[in-house]
Amino acid sequence: MTAATAVAAVSGLDAVSGALAKQFVGWLETGFRPDGMFADDVFADLTIPQWRVQASGVDAAFGLRENSHPFQGEIRIEALDSTARGFLLQFEERWLADGQRWYCRELIHCVVRAERISELAIYCTGDWDEATQRQHADQVPLQRP
């Protein structure tokens, strides 16, 4: 299932948030920047293990991901829910880099104002290489994948 299909299959979002969610997931998968997805004054707040980074403005918000995680990959959406101010996207991502298959899991609250994403609160596990993924699988039996 492609990301666009996964986003389209989720009900409960209004038309604006649904369209923004599709654009956002498409950007995550391809790196292609959709015009008009972010408000001019968008603010992004990224929390990764033991670090926190912020960005203001469209180029800086795009760059927050592109400069630290520029790999195209596969997105598996776990949840996409409406919030009082926008939508919440929960997903895992896998990509190839440096001869390895990498993994991360993220939760992003996208605040929508005037039909654009105006704020992002991003929580990420950090990027797990294959050794970390094996160690986790050996030490932690997950009840739900």
Whether the CB-CB separation of 82 and 18 falls below 8 Å is answered with no
Where does the pLDDT of residue 7 fall: very low under 50, low under 70, confident under 90, or very high at 90 and above?
A: low
Q: Which residues contact 122 (CB under 8 A, 6 or more apart)?
A: 44, 45, 46, 47, 106, 107, 108
In 39-61, which positions are buried (b, 16+ CB within 10 angstroms) versus exposed (e)?
A: beebbbebebeeeeeebeebeeb
Lowest pLDDT segment from 36-45, 71-80, 124-133:
71-80
Task: Report CA 47 to chain centroid distance, whole Å.
Answer: 12
C-alpha span between 27 and 37 (Å, rounded): 10
Q: What is the pLDDT of residues 63-122, one digit of tens each?
A: 999 998 877 889 999 999 999 999 999 999 999 999 999 999 999 999 999 999 999 999
Look at domain 3-139 and name its CATH class. Answer: alpha beta
Q: Which residue has the tokens 């440096």?
A: 98
C-alpha span between 117 and 108 (Å, rounded): 12
Rounded to two decimals, the pTM is: 0.89
Q: What pLDDT does 5 receive? A: 45
The domain segmentation of the chain, as residue ranges, is 3-139
| Mean pLDDT calculated for residue range 46-61 | 97
C-alpha span between 80 and 98 (Å, rounded): 31
Q: Which residue has the tokens 């927050």?
A: 64
Where does the pLDDT of residue 133 fall: very low under 50, low under 70, confident under 90, or very high at 90 and above?
A: very high
Q: What pLDDT does 11 receive? A: 61
Q: What pLDDT does 29 receive? A: 92
